[in-house]
Amino acid sequence: PYWSFDGGVGLGMPRAMPALVNPQTPVPPITSHLRDSSELSGYQLHATDGELGKVEDFILDDQGWNIRYLVIRPGNWLTQTQVLLSPEWIEQVSYEKAEIVVNLPSELIKTSPAYDASHSLTRDLEKKLHDHYERKGYWVPKNVVNR
């Protein structure tokens, strides 16, 4: 507000009005790298040996509100199987090409433990997933060597 109160009783005194933006002034382009996660739905997934499938959904961590996994449908839309990939395993995201690149072979992703959205995600499935990709789980402290 432009009305200033000096702590005393009364209506206060108006301060100088802030300068208004000239509508003729060009607006600088948005340089934020923040994106709406729904924008990534439908992005193509590229493995080391070619295009693999599409991003269908996301699983959020309800504690930290970060994306824990991307739900991927490897293959075409007729494929019923869904698998999970951690955002930590993403090599590159191209918003211009609507694609996500991972440094993993497609066969490794296709043979990943299947994800069924009608069941809750369990730590057991997460352990199987991380073991399959030979990656340490996010729940394991960074200084621990073994899983």
Which pLDDT tens digit goes with each residue over 56-88? Answer: 999 988 888 888 999 999 876 666 889 999 999
**Taking 70 as the threshold, does the pLDDT of residue 8 lie above it?**
no
**pLDDT (0 to 100) of residue 1:** 45
Q: How far apart are the C-alpha atoms of 139 and 93, rounded to whole Å?
A: 25
What is the overall mean pLDDT for the chain?
80
pLDDT tier for residue 42 given thresholds of 50, 70 and 90: confident
Which position has the token pair 């995201």?
93
Of the candidates 76, 38, 80, 35, the residue with the CA atom closest to the CA atom of residue 58: 38
Q: How far apart are the C-alpha atoms of 125 and 36, rounded to whole Å?
A: 27
What are the φ/ψ torsions at residue 139 (nearest 5 degrees)?
Answer: -80, -15
Contact (Cβ atoms closer than 8 angstroms) between residue 104 and residue 88: no
